[in-house]
Structure 1
Amino acid sequence: MPKSGPKQARVEPIRDAEDINLPVTGWHVIDETDPDNEIVVSEHETEVEAIRAAEEYEQREE
């Protein structure tokens, strides 16, 4: 069951493989409101865009 209360999102880099030494190819915004059911809600080219989207996502009403 989803956690009640405000939404919580985080930003994670996208790489072509799991190797942290590879360049970042984009950024995911992940809804982590329910830690047992994290969902990718959007993908962005820059970290700045992803951070802005995560902030906007957290402010949206259900």
Structure 2
Amino acid sequence: MKIDVDGLTVYFPYDFIYPEQYEYMVEFKRALDARGHAVLEMPSGTGKTITIMSLAIAYQKANSSL
């Protein structure tokens, strides 16, 4: 599934994304854009790892100079 996260195309490996996962991606991207620090939290079993990895891979591909 392709998702637009603040102008970045992210390939998410599932057919459905929960609103909390999308918001997590948005906040993670804002932290990366600001080149700052962030504390992001979600409960166990909510898909943190796949959410972070999906966005991180897309961000790295779009910003290959990093």
TM-score, length of structure 1 as denominator length: 0.30
TM-score, length of structure 2 as denominator length: 0.29
Greater helix share, structure number: 2
Task: Answer with 1 or 2: which has the greater Rg.
Answer: 1
